Structure formats: structure tokens, C-alpha cells
Amino acid sequence: MAATPTDGSAGTTVLDARDVSRALTRISHEILERNKGPRDLVLLGIPSRGVPLAERIGEKIAGVEGDPVPVGSLDVTMYRDDLRRGPVRALLHTEIPPGGIDGKVVVLVDDVLFSGRTIRAALDALTEIGRPAAVRLAVLVDRGHRELPIRADFVGKNLPTSLVERVRVTVAEIDGEDAVTIEGRGTADEGEDL
């Protein structure tokens, strides 16, 4: 199923739109199974691509259970440990659903899990907002190379990569198409968990 991305960059498509949809369906069912239903669930997407993924998971859960699951977004910019290392980052939107996160099972949703530093920042950001009963992590792609003891509870695709490869996730809501590609050489950027 290898293909060249339509944006002109060299790379191999490892998940197409149907694969992404199936992965999100599986993640949704696993979340429901682990939580024994949708009760007290809150989904928080990490901007930018984690937000539409969280919204889709919420829609899939509502389709199965009949009841909507609160979905929001959690900006981790000010909690990152690499703010001094790169260009200035724009603050993104944090939106906590009505009812907050206190006593809830919060599922953080992101596109790529890499070093674990973005998720560490998300955990720090959550402590400023409230005290969830539990925090879980759902990612579309886990590419390995962890620098912190963080692991995902729900994974769409484990994708072993080398450090010189770049995993690029595109979502229809932002990029016009759903896909996951591996590009040969590059450095991690906004599409990856740093």
C-alpha cells in the first residue's frame, strides 16, 4: 500500500483514510471497554491534530452508545520544556467542556507519540485545570523513541521508526486528507510529539 504523498514530499503512506478511520473506531471501542461505557469520560485533544481526532472519537463513541461524550482541547504550549530552544510558539486554544474534569476519566488524544514530552506537558497543564479521577492516553501513531516513562493506553498503529525518519499525520479537517506517512530524513516538528 506504499504511495507517494500528494503534497509532493517524498515518503511512504502507511495509513490511508480508511486505515485512519478503522484505527479511530478501534480506539473508540477500546476506550468504552476499558471505561465500561461512556460514563464520566472527557476527551481532550492536544492541538492541533489531536483535536479533530478527539472529536471523531467522541462521534464514534456517541454512535455506539447514543449519548455524546464531552470533547475539548488542551493547549500545552506554556508547559513545554523546549520553549527556549526554538522559535516563539503561538498559544493555541484550550477548551474544557462544561462540567470540567474533576472526578472524570480524561482521555488525552494526540496524533503521534514520540519522546513523551508533549504528554508530560499535557499532564502538567491538567493539574492547573482540575483533578481527574484518571488520565488515559490515546494516540493515532506510537513511533517509539521515548525519553520519558510515558506510554499510550490506546494506539491506532505502532510504527517503529528510526530517529532520522519523520512521521507526518494529516487530517481532513486541517490538511484536506487523512493519512500517515513516513518521510525518509528530517527532524520532528509540529506534527510530532517532541
Distance CA 185, CA 163 (A): 9
Q: What is the pLDDT of residues 155-193, one digit of tens each?
A: 999 999 999 999 999 999 999 999 999 998 544 444 455
The pLDDT assigned to 3 comes to 42
Segment among 25-34, 83-92, 100-109, 139-148 with least mean pLDDT: 83-92
- Cβ of 13: how many Cβ atoms within 10 Å? 18
Segment among 2-16, 147-161, 174-188 with least mean pLDDT: 2-16
Kindly report the pTM of this predicted structure.
Answer: 0.88
Give me the mean pLDDT over the 10-39 stretch: 96
The pLDDT assigned to 186 comes to 47
Distance CA 17, CA 14 (A): 10
The pLDDT assigned to 131 comes to 97
Reply yes or no on whether the pLDDT at 13 is more than 90. yes
The pLDDT assigned to 119 comes to 97
Give me the mean pLDDT over the 138-148 stretch: 96
- Cβ of 58: how many Cβ atoms within 10 Å? 25
The pLDDT assigned to 7 comes to 44
Distance CA 185, CA 36 (A): 42
Looking at residue 7, its amino acid is D
Domains of the chain, with CATH numbers? Answer: 18-163 (3.40.50.2020)
Q: What is the pLDDT of residues 73-90, one digit of tens each?
A: 999 999 987 766 666 556
In a 13 Å sphere around the CA of 189, the CA atoms on its Cβ side amount to: 9
The pLDDT assigned to 92 comes to 75
The pLDDT assigned to 90 comes to 65
Residue 2's pLDDT band (cuts 50, 70, 90): very low
Q: What rounded mean pLDDT belongs to the chain?
A: 89
Q: What is the pLDDT of residues 50-71, one digit of tens each?
A: 999 999 999 999 999 999 999 9
